[in-house]
Amino acid sequence: MAVPGPTCKGSTLVATVAVVATTAGLIAADPYVESAFNRTTAFRGFDRAFSSKVTGDEIIAIPTALYLFGLGSRDSYMQKTALFAGEAIFDSEVIREAMNSLTTRLSPSDVASQKVYSDTFFRSRIHSGSSFPSAHTIAAMSIATVVARRYSKHRWVPWAAYGFAGAVGFSRLTLLAHFPSDVFLGGALGYAIARYGVLRDH
């Protein structure tokens, strides 16, 4: 039993370093990537389908629907999945709120008119405007991870779950709501919280 401990710790360290390094790299690339999204109108249809309100409602609706359907069909496994998803959202939200409060980063839409996307950290005076990491992405990925892992035997479920989370994350870029680093870190945190926190013993 002595071998898995260090191996697990080593894997966790490698994953943490990889996430931090990737986030740092994306922060450096953020101004260039987001300016490209600001110059295009190619995603208007996509943006309507994945608007902030639509995806926010879907994030709430998915675990609610799972629980109600599980209750109606007396499927305790589905009900537990819904509760795990709700727990993952709550845990993710606590971490996101703390990070948003500390980093107070402007969103791309805050500076889009100036077309200057650098120097965005520690500048937001409105708490709701703090964008690092992405709230929609961290919540969507935490739900996706719970559902995908709980129903991994159904091949289409992980594809659908992570596909939804990926679409939500991409929409945050096209809507100028978040920078790539906000979205990446939100996805990484949502996955880690759901898999290694909420589902650790399940």
Mean pLDDT of 9-34: 89
- The tokens describing 199, both together, are 């589902």
The confidence band for 111, taking pLDDT boundaries of 50, 70 and 90, is confident
Q: For residue 102, give the H/E element and its range.
A: helix 76-103
- Nearest alpha carbon to residue 178 among 143, 142, 138: 138
Residue 80: domain span = 4-198
Phi-psi region of 74 (alpha: psi -120 to 50; beta: other; left: phi over 0): left
Tokens 């719970």 found at: 146
With a cut of 70, say whether residue 129 has pLDDT above it: no
Model pLDDT for residues 134-149, shown as the tens digit of each residue: 999 999 999 999 999 9
Beta-carbon contacts of 29 under 8 Å, excluding residues fewer than 6 positions away, are: 180
Q: Tell me if 148 sits within 8 A of 161, measured CB to CB.
A: yes
Higher pLDDT, 41 or 74: 74
Domain tally for the chain? 1
Choice among 45-54, 64-73, 106-115, 158-167 with the minimum mean pLDDT? 106-115
Model pLDDT for residues 59-73, shown as the tens digit of each residue: 999 999 999 999 999
